[in-house]
Structure 1
Amino acid sequence: MKIHFLGGTGTVTGSKTLVEHNEFRLLIDCGLFQGIKALRDLNWQPLSIDPSTIDFVLLTHGHLDHCGWLPLLVKQGFKGKIFCTAPTKQIAKLILADSAKIQEEEASKANQEHFSKHNPAEPLYTVADAEQVTSFFKVVEKDVQIRLSEDCWFSFFQSGHILGACSIELTINEKVLVFSGDVGQDDDVLMYPPEKPQKADYIFLESTYGNRLHPQNDVLLDLEMIINKTVERGGNVVIPSFAVERAQTVMYLLWQLRLQNRIPTIPYIIDTPMGIKVLDIFNDNPKWHKLNPNQCEEMCSMFSMISDYEDTINAIYDKRPKVVIAASGMITGGRVLSYLERYIIKPENTVLLVGYQAEGTRGRKLLEGAKEIKFFGKYYPVEAEIVLVEGLSAHGDQLDLLNWLSELTQKPQKIFLVHGENEAADTLRTKIFDTYGFDATVPLLGQVVEI
């Protein structure tokens, strides 16, 4: 059996792991690379494996870094099934359509304003390409065994990361391979704790926070202080947020603060059309999260929900202090750029970061103290206060990842650490050995391993 590490190695994006056994080829996730240009350029490169020779895709969840390359996989000849849970299908459809729309819009804007070196600038894929993927999805229930061939079957089990997110137990020729996908926190506000694998010969474990522990801070208190401080100086709080689960978590926390009268009665805005649609997915899938329908309804009633861009412009120019949640979470695109274009240059405002900021993203640059930030072909001085509230990540920290391994009944032959920057993955490798004596390794992008 051969394992091809086609993405999600040395970085937290572009997740793609290909399993090859005899003539059988199976792809775990098919994500988009994000961050520094060298990584983004990889999205334009063909796979080392002809997509038409891949039999199936198993999709752990619907985030862009795990599903965002599917339109190209299909466009380049993939004809198999894409297995996923029902919420993952709903979320992936939204995210792919949104990704394609943003790419089309940015290419159009670049051509109109001539700030791209490409002439003409073109999207990586179109909305029509994204729509083609839908017919390939095959929904399966978690904890149900699905046979793919005589000697190969798999099942999904809950990973606690976002709605519908699962780990995968894959059995091929009596060898058990477990792919973690992204592992959530054990005490997440909205998601149930991740389920742990019981047995595995080989494990492919994410390592996003492999070298970090989430602080044991009072997140509600942090949000309360940041919002009140900003409002007192007449400013706005802009929260760049992932539209799936992170936006809903922030909504829930703000709702709790309002119920306790700890933050003022000002406009609270959700400006992410996709994030608003995800609220419907929450209502459609109550068994996947902790909120009941009444809580969902009451929480949503606190927020103004913006879909039309005209309303975005009106909100931006509304002089009242406000709190705005807008995509994208790492400030790589989306509505949040329109707010930052006007707000980041004013010291009374606050940009509140609430999730992981990958290398090369605008979010990471702000976190590292950048004095200026570039978007829409222009540089803007960073005068607004930049604040990070830790502990809100949808990813488990080092302790959560170690705990995820705690119920294995036998020593795995090898653990491959993926979906992490090199330092995080290597730190986790050492920690796994010190804790359990398990042999872990950090594969390289493009590496092929025989097992």
Structure 2
Amino acid sequence: MKINFIGGAGTVTGSKTLIETKDSRILIDCGLFQGLKSLRELNWDPLPILPSTIDCVLLTHGHLDHCGWLPRLISQGFKGKIYCTAPTKSIAKLVLLDSAKIQEEEAYKANEEQYSKHTQAEPLYTIQQAQDVTSFLKVIQPNTPVVVANDITAVFESSGHIIGACSITLTLEGKTLVFSGDIGRDDDVLMFPPTKPTMADYLFLESTYGDRLHPDLDVKKELETLINTAIEQKGTVIIPGFAVERAQSIMFLLWQLKTEGRIPNIPYILDTPMGANALHVFLENLQWHKLSVNDCHEMYKMFTIVSEFEETIRIIADPQPKVVIAASGMVTGGRVLSYFEHYISIEKTTVIFVGYQAEGTRGRRLLEGADEIKIYGNYYNVRAKIFQIEGLSAHGDQEDLLNWLSALKNIPKCIYLVHGENLPADALRIKIQDRYHFKCKVPLMGNEIEI
């Protein structure tokens, strides 16, 4: 059996792991590369094998870095099934449609304003190609064995990362392979703790926060302080948020703070075309999260939900203090760029990052103290105050990842650390070896192993 790390190795984006047996080919996740240009350019490259030869895709969850390349896979000949949970199907449809819409809009803008280096800028995929993915998505129930290919059984178990997110256990050729997907936190605001694996011959574990612990601080208090300080200065607060789950976590905390009278009665805005639709996903999948039906409705009532860009322009032009949650979370695209064009050079503006910022993204550069950022071909001076609340990340930290391994009843033959930059992955490798004495390796992108 061969395992090929096509993406999501040495980086936190572009997750794609290919399993090849004598009879079958299975792809775990099919994500989009984000961040560094050298990574983003890989999105245009073909896979090392023909998509038509892949039997199925197993999707751990619906974030863009795990599902965002599916339209390309299908347009290049993939004919199999894409297995996922019901919430993941709903989320993936929203995320892919939003991604395609942004790509079409940005290609159009680049051509209109002539800042593309290409003669004709083109989207990576179109809205129609994103919509074509839906018919391939096959819903499976969690905790239920499903035969996905020749004598290969898969079990999806909740990983606590976002709604519908799962780890996947594969049984094939007498071996048990566990793919973590993204692991959530043991004490997440909205999600239940992840289910721990009990048996694994080979385990493929994410390592996003493999070298750090989330600060043991009151995130609600942090959010309260930052917002009140900004509003006292008559400034605007911009929270780049992943439209699914992190946005809802922030909304939930803001709703609690406002209900408790701890933040002022000002406009609170969710500016993402996916925002209203994401509410339906939460309402239809109550068993996947901690919110009640009433919580969901009351929380959303507090926010102005923006879907049309004309409304975005009106809100940007309004000088009154406000709090805006806008995608994308790493400032790689989406409505948040329009807010940044206007507000990033204003000293009274406060930007609060609440999720991981991958290498090469605008979010990472801002956290590292960039004096200027480039948006749509233009440079903007950074005068806004930049903060990060690490305690609101949807990813487990080093201790959460180590704890996830604690229920194993056997000694794995090897643990491979994926979905992490090299330093965090290597730090986690050392910790795993010290605590559990498990054999542990950090594969590089393009590596192929035999097991």
Question: Into which bin does the TM-score normalised by the smaller protein fall?
Answer: over 0.9
Are residues 1:85 and 2:79 paired?
no
SS of the equivalent of 1:374 reads: strand
SS of the equivalent of 2:156 reads: strand
Q: Within 2, Cα distance between the matches of 1:384 and 1:313? A: 20
Quick one: percent identity of the two aligned structures? 65
Are residues 1:307 and 2:307 paired?
yes
1:8-19 matches, cutoff 5 A: 8-19=8-19
1:5-404 matches, cutoff 5 A: 5-404=5-404
Instruction: Tell me the amino acid that sits aligned with residue 138 of structure 2.
Output: K
Alpha-carbon RMSD across the aligned residues, in angstroms, is: 0.7
Q: Within 2, Cα distance between the matches of 1:367 and 1:435? A: 32
Instruction: Tell me the amino acid that sits aligned with residue 385 of structure 1.
Output: K
SS of the equivalent of 2:320 reads: coil
In 2 relative to 1, CA 150–318 (structure 1 residues): closer, same or farther, beyond 3 Å? closer
| CA-CA distance at 1:49 after TM superposition | 1.1
Q: Within 2, Cα distance between the matches of 1:221 and 1:147? A: 47
| CA-CA distance at 1:276 after TM superposition | 2.3
**Count of paired positions:** 451
Q: Within 2, Cα distance between the matches of 1:318 and 1:101? A: 26
| CA-CA distance at 1:300 after TM superposition | 1.0
> Are the counterparts in 2 of residues 8 and 419 from structure 1 also a CA contact under 8 Å?
yes
> Are the counterparts in 1 of residues 23 and 150 from structure 2 also a CA contact under 8 Å?
no
Q: Within 2, Cα distance between the matches of 1:109 and 1:273? A: 19
Q: Within 2, Cα distance between the matches of 1:393 and 1:148? A: 32
In 2 relative to 1, CA 36–150 (structure 1 residues): closer, same or farther, beyond 3 Å? closer
| CA-CA distance at 1:23 after TM superposition | 2.6
Gaps of 5+ in 2: none
Q: Within 2, Cα distance between the matches of 1:23 and 1:146? A: 17
> Are the counterparts in 2 of residues 242 and 329 from structure 1 also a CA contact under 8 Å?
yes
SS of the equivalent of 1:391 reads: helix
Deviation digits for residues 41-73 of structure 1 (CA, Å, limit 9, x no counterpart) = 000011001100000100000000000000111
> Are the counterparts in 1 of residues 348 and 385 from structure 2 also a CA contact under 8 Å?
yes
> Are the counterparts in 1 of residues 24 and 150 from structure 2 also a CA contact under 8 Å?
no
SS of the equivalent of 1:273 reads: coil
| CA-CA distance at 1:301 after TM superposition | 1.1
Instruction: Tell me the amino acid that sits aligned with residue 272 of structure 1.
Output: T
| CA-CA distance at 1:280 after TM superposition | 1.1
Q: Within 2, Cα distance between the matches of 1:5 and 1:150? A: 22
The residue that corresponds to 1:405 in the other structure is 405
Are residues 1:443 and 2:411 paired?
no
> Are the counterparts in 1 of residues 158 and 194 from structure 2 also a CA contact under 8 Å?
yes
Deviation digits for residues 362-414 of structure 1 (CA, Å, limit 9, x no counterpart) = 00000000000100110000011111111100000000000000000000000
Instruction: Tell me the amino acid that sits aligned with residue 229 of structure 1.
Output: T
Instruction: Tell me the amino acid that sits aligned with residue 386 of structure 2.
Output: I
Deviation digits for residues 70-126 of structure 1 (CA, Å, limit 9, x no counterpart) = 011101111000000000000001111111111111001000001010110111111
Gaps of 5+ in 1: none
Instruction: Tell me the amino acid that sits aligned with residue 296 of structure 2.
Output: C
Q: Within 2, Cα distance between the matches of 1:150 and 1:357? A: 39
> Are the counterparts in 2 of residues 151 and 174 from structure 1 also a CA contact under 8 Å?
no
Q: Within 1, Cα distance between the matches of 2:317 and 2:243? A: 23
> Are the counterparts in 1 of residues 196 and 405 from structure 2 also a CA contact under 8 Å?
yes
Deviation digits for residues 314-364 of structure 1 (CA, Å, limit 9, x no counterpart) = 111111100000000000010011111111111011011111000000000
| CA-CA distance at 1:150 after TM superposition | 4.9
Instruction: Tell me the amino acid that sits aligned with residue 98 of structure 1.
Output: D
Give TM-score, length-normalised by structure 2: 0.99
SS of the equivalent of 1:204 reads: strand
Deviation digits for residues 143-194 of structure 1 (CA, Å, limit 9, x no counterpart) = 0100134531111000000010000010001100000000000000000000
Give TM-score, length-normalised by structure 1: 0.99
Q: Within 2, Cα distance between the matches of 1:309 and 1:131? A: 21
Runs of 4+ in 1 over 6 A off after TM superposition: none
Q: Within 2, Cα distance between the matches of 1:81 and 1:47? A: 18
| CA-CA distance at 1:250 after TM superposition | 0.2
Q: Within 1, Cα distance between the matches of 2:448 and 2:34? A: 23
Instruction: Tell me the amino acid that sits aligned with residue 48 of structure 2.
Output: S
In 2 relative to 1, CA 72–258 (structure 1 residues): closer, same or farther, beyond 3 Å? same
